[in-house]
Amino acid sequence: MDLLLREEVKNEDNLYFFVLEGSMLEAYLRKNVKEKNIITLRQTSNTEVPATTFDEMIHLTDFTSVLKKNRISHFVLPHSVAPAYEEWARENSVRLIEPPFEIANLLEDKVKFNQFLFENNIPSPLSIPRRMSYR
């Protein structure tokens, strides 16, 4: 799977994808990413709504303990770092890395991101139609 910042990635073996166990995204990653680079999370709350945001991932899953167990010290966010996340990171000895402004905008803009995937022939999750025309 091509990465958005490939030229800055020195060793892809040190990049991990976090995903909720049993989710559609897990099935997608298992088809497109090396097994050793996938780390599954378990929802720890009793809520029926799956954790989808970073805030929910911190509070509703075993994310923090999984980071520690796997000795992961850096985490790339798809958006700007909020003060609450900075506090969580300090408390857990994790360095949060935010993308440059242009890439953050690409990741947050669903239409532009889907167009980017389509134009670069990058596989997309089932929820995104593969045969879209953006012209």
Over the stretch 38-72, which tens digit does the pLDDT of each residue have? 999 998 887 776 777 788 888 889 999 999 998 88
127 - beta bridge partners? none
Quote the pLDDT of residue 64.
Answer: 92
How many residues make up the chain in this entry? 135
Flag whether 52 is in a domain: yes
Quote the pLDDT of residue 134.
Answer: 39
Quote the pLDDT of residue 121.
Answer: 79
Contact 44, 62 (CB under 8 A): yes
Flag whether 16 is in a domain: yes
Decide: helix, strand or coil at residue 126. Answer: coil
pLDDT beneath 50: ranges in the chain: 1-9, 128-135
CA distances from 92 to 6, 16, 54 (A): 28, 18, 15
Quote the pLDDT of residue 126.
Answer: 59
Quote the pLDDT of residue 6.
Answer: 39
Give how many domains the chain has, as a whole number: 1
Cβ count near 19 (within 10 Å): 19
Cα 78 from Cα 71, distance rounded (Å): 21
Quote the pLDDT of residue 116.
Answer: 76
Q: Which long-range contacts (CB under 8 A, 24 or more apart) does 39-43 make?
A: 39/66, 39/70, 41/66
* Domain around 36: 6-100
